[in-house]
Amino acid sequence: MADYRPQQLDKKWQQLWTSSLAFEVEADAKRPKYYCLEMFAYPSGHAHVGHVRNYIIGDVMARTKRLRGYNVLHPFGWDAFGLPAENAAIKTGTHPETSTLDNIAHMKGQLQRLGISYAWGREIATCQPDYYKFNQWIFLKMFERGLAYRKRSTVNWCPSCQTVLANEQVVEGACWRCGTTVVTRDLEQWFFRITAYADELLKGLDTLDAWPEKVVVMQRNWIGRSEGARLEFPIAGADTKVRGARLQADPADPVRGVRLEADPTDAIEVFTTRIDTIYGATFVLLAPEHQMVDRFTAESRDPAAFRARVAKFRALDRQARLTGEIEKEGFDTGRKAINPFTGELVPIWIANFVLAEYGTGAIMGVPAHDQRDFEFARKYGLPITFVVQSAAEVPAPDSMQEAVSAYGRLVNSGEYTGEESPSIKTRMIADAEKTGIGKGEVQYRLKDWGVSRQRYWGTPIPIIHCLKDGTVAVPYAQLPVELPKVPSFSGRGDSPLAQVPEFVNVTCPTCGGPARRETDTMDTFVDSSWYFLRFCDPKNSELPFSAASTVYWMPVDFYSGGVEHAILHLLYSRFFTRVLRDVGLLTFDEPFTRLLTQGMVLKGGAVMSKSKGNVVDPDDMLTKYGADALRLYVMFVAPPEKEVEWSDAGLEGSFRFLLRVWRLADHWAETIGGEGIPTCGDDCTGAERALRRKTHETIRRVTADIEERMHLNTAVSSLMELVNELYAFSEQTAHGAPRRGEPPVACTERTQTVGVLREAIDALVLMISPFAPHTAEEMWYALGNAGGLARAAWPSFDPEVARATEVVVPVQINGKVRARLTVEAGLSDDELRERALADAAVRTHTEGRTIRKVVVAKGPLVSVVVA
């Protein structure tokens, strides 16, 4: 061996891995599989060490599992569609395809220089027709099943840019690009009916026991299941007197003067989870967008004034919701509804805090038991009726400071008075069903997924609009619907695709008449919802993937990526998996068995970003220290899920450690190397036995740290301990400890010493190889192991060897360690107790005192209590 020149080793081994197709795999039913995946990358151009950390984590896992005998699938690909490339095109004129492919080429080079062990033969890019063809295929399957549908919906619209904006592109109510105030528009949009799977997606969360609890909780909240009831409040005529209302009709207020017809067939439906409080429902609140609002407007004495107030709410609500807090406001429609349980008339108000898109867009106001309703009632002087008693005293409505939301015993609740909630809810719902005034219902916060984008750089939606036949699917045989080349990007106007007549004008597949192609493209989250399945069978031109390939490879055993995808990508993927299961392509429910959310890398306390100018480019580090030092450092600095602060000094330290390992291997290679492992075992000295113990203890710890606990930082520190031990051991041999500049002297060592060292150094090189693969390959080769690491096997732990022959037993007296006994291992508790009490140091503390208690604990440890 020679001086450590990592840059040369990187090159040498990377070329060898590529030419030998070292990481390409095929399904093999005889071998256990392991599917290791990192979230694929958006090709932004340059990966910084923050991105790269994730790939290294996955690579450590993949390389470890290979050595552990698994058939490891470790692929990579590109989430290649998306807005940034199109925006860049608008700015610079470079076609998105050109810039995307350039970026992919550069980033791929970066990952290869890091020595990440990807099966590049399975690489995919979502912007390629042979990939997005199957976005379209899946879309059509969903269309056939009614899971893809069109409806009008409200979207963010920038009047200046003439385009739809995603929620995250609206910054404080204004367009992120030009600063124009965003307005809403109703547009026909395509949706995926993810709500059809809401309950299943929720239940499935319970099976994800190898996911971070945090992510599971976030998904659970996002789905937001609520059990309750949908109840009808019939609308009454406005001439009926309102019980308990303090408001008087005000002739000066045009809104309150209403017409007097009553229509008993009309009702306002509300959704509530607290039917037990219904006797306290003293008003009804409508969202400003509620359908009934338009009718009330028309029927009011002064529709123009009424409409103005509603419009103010609708606008204000929108602004406020984007910026945060809004003051609860409302106004009386002048109309009344009938509380279906009490039969009493309650006023109907319009309130700015009632959400149109949740439940029925209307609620019953129970001010005594809901804080929001309470605030509203106080502000407008609406009556408060207390109906659920959870404390000893019934508060007087006038003196209540806040609503009481706790469950308790029902009071003032007619036939239900005296019953306990929440158990009474079931009966109340049943009664409502019997009398036809309502029914039990489950509501979800989750909404259907709007997938239409009025953008160019995405998957065309495979639909044709025909005047005669309506919405028609593009036949499967005609897939893919390819993106036409668009020469220039203005960023203005409708969907860019609408400006390409050859694309838009088609014949209807059903009737052959003239028709218009759909010009929206799909949300790029569609692309990422199934890419992990495509990796199982990336060249399939007939189907997204074959069922057989996924039967072997899926589900993904280990998936890692940023926590920012905790909801969207991971929820959509779980949804797609179920849809494809129902289509008949898959046989399982959950795509990702184990999930790791890796922490970000900070520089100067901030997340790395180009705009902040604080990115650390991995290439700079590679030039200076080589790939392995960077890899090792990033793994050593903290556990993977933790955020870390980048440190050049820390990287330097990892480089020094690799040098230290290198020198050790160099120092001993000639003496211990070669084919055939010398045995070690019999008639060892104490030092030799101790080194063996350390070797096996390290194997145990490193294996568990990587495979079970995913504490890669402590795995590395265990390896460092072993290296320290090896230096100390070497010091006592004829060779002495490795020193720089001194060639290894040919000294003779005991065969046992050679054997013990060989075992330790082989194990060290193998276990360091997932972290520092290039250095490890070279050392493995220098030690005379045939066939490279690709043919090596992870060292196995022998508990017999690791078992200590003597142990140090601390003795605590009144909780403080006062002595340490060195005793042979395996003594009984009684023997330990006896030895402890006989120890001189212990006796100085027990002399003249009463021994109250002696506890011998596993560990072992002796705890003595004296008075």
Q: Scan for tokens 């019999």, then name that residue.
A: 682
Among the listed ranges 12-20, 545-553, 575-583, 711-719, the one in contact with RNA (CB under 7 A) is 711-719
Residue 494 as a binder of RNA (CB under 7 A): the answer is no
**CB of 711 vs RNA, minimal distance in Å:** 6
Q: Which of residues 741-760 bind RNA (CB under 7 A)?
A: 741
| String of DSSP letters for 250-264 | -TT-TTT-B-----T
Residue 220 as a binder of RNA (CB under 7 A): the answer is no
**CB of 155 vs RNA, minimal distance in Å:** 17
Longest dimension (CA), the chain: 112
Give the chain's end-to-end CA distance (angstroms, integer): 65
Q: Which of residues 600-619 bind RNA (CB under 7 A)?
A: none
Residue 786 as a binder of RNA (CB under 7 A): the answer is no
Residue 452 as a binder of RNA (CB under 7 A): the answer is no
Grouping H, G, I as helix, E, B as strand and the rest as coil, residue 858 is: coil
Q: Which of 274, 565, 578, 774 binds RNA (CB under 7 A)?
A: 274
Q: Which of residues 800-829 bind RNA (CB under 7 A)?
A: 808, 810, 812, 814-818, 820
CA distances from 428 to 167, 285, 582 (A): 40, 22, 37
Contacts of 88 (CB under 8 A, 6+ apart): 94, 96, 99
Q: Which of 412, 540, 714, 733 binds RNA (CB under 7 A)?
A: 714
Cβ pair 260, 336 in contact under 8 A: no
Q: What is the C-alpha to C-alpha distance for residues 342 and 387, in angstroms, rounded to an integer?
A: 12
Residue 695 as a binder of RNA (CB under 7 A): the answer is no
**CB of 224 vs RNA, minimal distance in Å:** 5
Report how many residues bind RNA under the rule CB under 7 A. 90
**CB of 18 vs RNA, minimal distance in Å:** 32
Q: Which is nearer to RNA, 520 or 725 (CB)?
A: 725
Residue 453 as a binder of RNA (CB under 7 A): the answer is no
**CB of 211 vs RNA, minimal distance in Å:** 13
Q: Which of residues 232-271 bind RNA (CB under 7 A)?
A: 271
In terms of Cα–Cα distance, which of 364, 369, 403, 363 is closest to 387? 369
**CB of 501 vs RNA, minimal distance in Å:** 42
Residue 87 as a binder of RNA (CB under 7 A): the answer is no
Among the listed ranges 83-91, 350-358, 428-436, 481-489, the one in contact with RNA (CB under 7 A) is 350-358
Q: Which of 57, 354, 615, 767 binds RNA (CB under 7 A)?
A: 354
Cβ pair 241, 345 in contact under 8 A: yes
**CB of 328 vs RNA, minimal distance in Å:** 5
Among the listed ranges 89-97, 128-136, 490-498, 650-658, the one in contact with RNA (CB under 7 A) is 650-658
Cβ pair 354, 285 in contact under 8 A: yes
CA distances from 557 to 34, 40, 573, 815 (A): 6, 16, 15, 45
Q: Which is nearer to RNA, 627 or 821 (CB)?
A: 821
**Tally of CB atoms within 10 A around 249:** 11
Residue 638 as a binder of RNA (CB under 7 A): the answer is yes
Among the listed ranges 167-175, 190-198, 235-243, 733-741, the one in contact with RNA (CB under 7 A) is 733-741
- Please give the structure tokens belonging to residue 223: 């789905």
Residue 539 as a binder of RNA (CB under 7 A): the answer is no
Residue 168 as a binder of RNA (CB under 7 A): the answer is no
**CB of 441 vs RNA, minimal distance in Å:** 10
Q: What is the C-alpha to C-alpha distance for residues 444 and 419, in angstroms, rounded to an integer?
A: 28
Cβ pair 842, 819 in contact under 8 A: yes
Per DSSP, which regions of 609-690 are E strands? 644-645
Q: What is the C-alpha to C-alpha distance for residues 238 and 224, in angstroms, rounded to an integer?
A: 37
CA distances from 549 to 177, 454, 527, 575, 683 (A): 44, 35, 19, 20, 53
Residue 149 as a binder of RNA (CB under 7 A): the answer is no
- Please give the structure tokens belonging to residue 767: 């276990």
Q: Which of 106, 372, 689, 835 binds RNA (CB under 7 A)?
A: 372
What is the DSSP-derived secondary structure letter of residue 121? G
Cβ pair 342, 279 in contact under 8 A: yes
Residue 417 as a binder of RNA (CB under 7 A): the answer is no
Q: Which of residues 190-219 bind RNA (CB under 7 A)?
A: 213-214, 217-218
